[in-house]
Structure 1
Amino acid sequence: MALSITDLPALDNRRVKTSTADVLVDRVIPGEILVIAFGFVSWEARPDFDFYGRLRKLEQNSGRHINKILVRDSGNAWYHRRIDGLGAHPDETAEGLRALIREIRPSKVITIGQSMGAYAAVLYGLLLEVQQVLAFGPLSFLDPAQALLYHERRWLSVMRDLAANPPLSGYYDLQALGRIKAATLPDLHVIFGTKPGEEGAESVHLDAMHAHRLAAIGNCTLHPYPYSGHTVVQHLIDTKRINALLARIIMNLMLEEEAREVTADWHGWITENLRLGSPPEELVEILKHHGYSHDSSFAAVAGKTSVP
């Protein structure tokens, strides 16, 4: 006799790391929020599940249980081909997720992902008509013709493969899908880096382009990070801001900024930029963008001059 979904045991780090499944469902408490987390691409090994540890941390910080569905695309096809346990193409996969949502009976549904997972978070967020989407560095289209127009060549081979051998259903422009779903738009948050790469590399500028295309859908909040590249989640982890960001958007919970003392090399940077005439308040903002709290940033700059 199959277990009811409400009788499923809780996930743990070992199972999440070693499972061979494409879909995992954590312990269910009906009435609590549900987060569907989509994994990012991996060419060298099977993609990992994503955001499990961060969601566990959010449970600790909020004191609330979070229902979780973890999904990965083992074929790295931007969630357009088979996802074992859900479906063989996006419409079928969406129906599989709808069935799980009906069983879980959550108070609110949120999708989340980074890069390839971010495309899925927006795509399935729109198809499932969820309440909230968090997309870290998403593409806004998978159409090779548009990609060439925008000089978006990072994952052009994936786009061309989908165009040459399309699945039974496909969604290749999220902006267009957003227009179709205009009456049921989620609260969409697009988090992305804007730092130029080495020798004028275009990847981050392209992330900004995709973010603004998604903003045109409506009901969208943009979160640009000027000192991050495409891997904006790693940037937020490195600068100790990821937990506070997730808590604020998902739970409307304001966490205290994680204390980080401004390091000696930054003190030298402050001194040099003040000597060159940079406004103190601008230096405070730059330090904050690098993950230092307002208080520590202000103190570091104020220690060398008076800040208005």
Structure 2
Amino acid sequence: MPISISDLPPLDNRHVKTSTEDVLVDHVIPGELLVISFGFVSWDKRPDFDFYGRLKKLEQFGGRHINKILVRDSGNSWYHRKIDGLGQHPDQTADGLRQLIQAIQPRKVVTIGQSMGAYAALMYGMLLEVQQVVAFGPLSMLEPQHALLYHERRWLSVMRDLAARPPASSYNDLLALGRDKVGKLPDMHLIFGTRPDADKSTESVNLDAMHAHRLAALGNCTLYPYPFSGHPVVQHLIDTQRINALLARIVLGLELQEEGMAVTPDWHGWIAENLRLGGAAEELVEILKQHGFSHGSSSAAVAQAQAQS
């Protein structure tokens, strides 16, 4: 049954945390930005809705309401099977979301997600022809034999299940989906870690980076590599206090004041040692910034160490 959006009350944290639905729609203001957020995988409990709190912060930064549709895949099938309230397979789910978009009448539509949710953000972003996609650490394909060519085994059981019991519609290769599109592709922002996947690895091997560069062949993609993050790049950006500024810049076109941390004593020692070993000052500043220190404090710390050397 289609979801009615007339006179919807505002969502709150308690409702989002305790709801038993697969889709929630926040209070609607027609003509405002709409963000459709897709939740990430969870094997030991029902997946949570994602980015609700972060979107509330964006509202504060921008001073305007953001329409929100929160979606989760309770079956952890990369949004290819039933999403209660929307559809039984991707084409049906896209139709359900399309009806909601038409009812909301937003000025712009953005899809967002991380990991499994990132795949959905890209897939439905292309199917719905939204204006913008923000994808953190997405896969680019779900076809098991293709994945094995890249040694992509992280979610192979899901891929094999989809191949063994294919849904009525499926999109197992986002690159193929994008290339088959007739209309303009969304403005796609791909955020990913590039730290090697294997512990203590000396090789620069990261599967998220592979998927991002594979998707970049579509064009219309902006890549945001983070060398000190692995797959959970959203948590890395939260820990280094950069998530708010990044989302505000991408989604709202708004530049926020830098939130980075001050350089700690241990890092002062690291700077001095690397300068002694011949490290370039500008490279040390960039490394410090990747660890969440502000540009100002990073530059000042390196300059201080140079003066003392």
Tell me if TM exceeds 0.5. Answer: yes
Distance 1:169 1:58, change over 3 A: same
- 1:82 & 1:294 partners in 2: Cα distance? 46
Name the SS for the 1:183 alignment partner: coil
Query: How far apart, in 2, do the equivalents of 1:22 and 1:201 lie?
Result: 42
Residue 196 of structure 1: how far off its partner (Å): 1.4
**Aligned partners of 2:29 and 2:203: how far apart in 1?**
44
Instruction: Tell whether the 8 Å contact from 1:6 to 1:104 is kept in structure 2 after alignment.
Output: no
**Shift in alpha-carbon separation, 1:94–1:110, aligned structure 2, 3 A:** same
TM-score (normalised: structure 1): 0.96
Which secondary structure does the structure 1 equivalent of 2:237 belong to? helix
Kept after mapping to 2: 8 A contact 1:204/1:229: no
**CA-CA distance at 1:182 after TM superposition:** 5.1
What are structure 1's unaligned runs of at least 5 residues?
none
Question: Could you list the per-position Cα deviations for residues 188-235 of structure 1 after superposition, in whole angstroms to 9, with x for gaps in the alignment?
Answer: 000000011313399961100100111111111000000110000000
In the alignment, which residue of structure 1 is the partner of 2:39?
Answer: 39
> Which segment drifts farther, 30-39 or 275-284?
275-284
Determine the structure 1 residue equivalent to 2:234.
233
Kept after mapping to 1: 8 A contact 2:195/2:204:
no
Deviates more, 1:194-203 or 1:100-109: 194-203
Q: CA deviation at 1:275?
A: 1.2
Write out per-residue CA displacement over residues 47-103 of structure 1, whole angstroms, 9 at most, x where no aligned residue.
000000000000001101000000000000000000000000000000000000010
**1:266-305 matched pairs, under 5 angstroms:** 266-305=267-306
Contact 1:195/1:229 (8 A) holds in 2: yes
Instruction: Provide the C-alpha distance between the structure 1 equivalents of 2:295 and 2:68, rounded to a whole number of angstroms.
Output: 33
One-letter code aligned to 1:31: G
In structure 2, the CA distance between the partners of 1:5 and 1:202, relative to structure 1 (3 Å rule), is farther
The answer as to 2:189 corresponding to 1:192 is no
Instruction: Please say which of residues 250-259 and 136-145 is displaced more in the overlay.
Output: 250-259
Give distance in 2, aligned partners of 1:259 and 1:17: 29
Contact kept in structure 2, 1:240 and 1:291, CA below 8 Å: yes
User: For 1:192 and 1:94, how far apart are their aligned partners in 2?
Assistant: 26
**Aligned residue identity for 1:249:** I
| RMSD (Å) for aligned C-alpha atoms | 1.7
Aligned-pair CA distance for 1:183: 2.7
| Cα contact 2:240–2:260 (8 A) shared by 1 | no
Distance 2:182 2:267 in 1: 46
Q: Which amino acid aligns with 1:273?
A: N
Contact kept in structure 2, 1:204 and 1:230, CA below 8 Å: no
The number of equivalent residue pairs is 306
Q: Could you say which residue in structure 1 is the equivalent of 2:217?
A: 216
SS of alignment partner, residue 305 of structure 2? coil
3-state DSSP class of the match of 1:176? Answer: helix
Output the CA distance in 2 between the equivalents of 1:30 and 1:142: 36
Moved over 6 A (4+): 201-204
1:250 alignment partner in structure 2: 251
- Change in CA separation of 1:259 and 1:208 when aligned onto 2, cut-off 3 Å: closer
Inter-CA distance 3–98: structure 2 relative to 1 (3 Å threshold): closer
Q: Distance in 2 between matches of 1:128 and 1:61?
A: 27
AA matched with 1:84: D
Task: Say if 1:145 and 1:202 are closer, same or farther in 2 by CA, change over 3 A.
Answer: farther
Q: Report 1:1-308 matches (<5 A).
A: 5-181=5-181, 183-197=183-197, 198-200=199-201, 205-305=206-306
In the superposition, relative to structure 1, how do residues 233 and 202 fare at CA in structure 2: closer, same or farther (>3 Å)? farther
Point out where structure 2 has 5 or more consecutive residues left out of the alignment. none
Distance 2:286 2:84 in 1: 46
Aligned residues of 2:260 and 2:295 also touching (Cα < 8 A): no
Superposition deviation, residue 3 in structure 1: 9.1
Q: Letter of the aligned partner of 1:135 in structure 2?
A: A
* Residues 203 and 80 of structure 1: CA distance in aligned 2, closer, same or farther (over 3 Å): farther
Give the match's secondary structure for 1:199: coil
Percent identity of equivalent pairs = 75
CA contact (8 A) 2:260 2:292 kept: no
Note the C-alpha offset of 1:180: 1.1
Q: In the superposition, relative to structure 1, how do residues 289 and 279 fare at CA in structure 2: closer, same or farther (>3 Å)?
A: same
Please report how far the alpha carbon of residue 292 of structure 1 lies from its aligned counterpart in structure 2 after TM superposition: 1.2
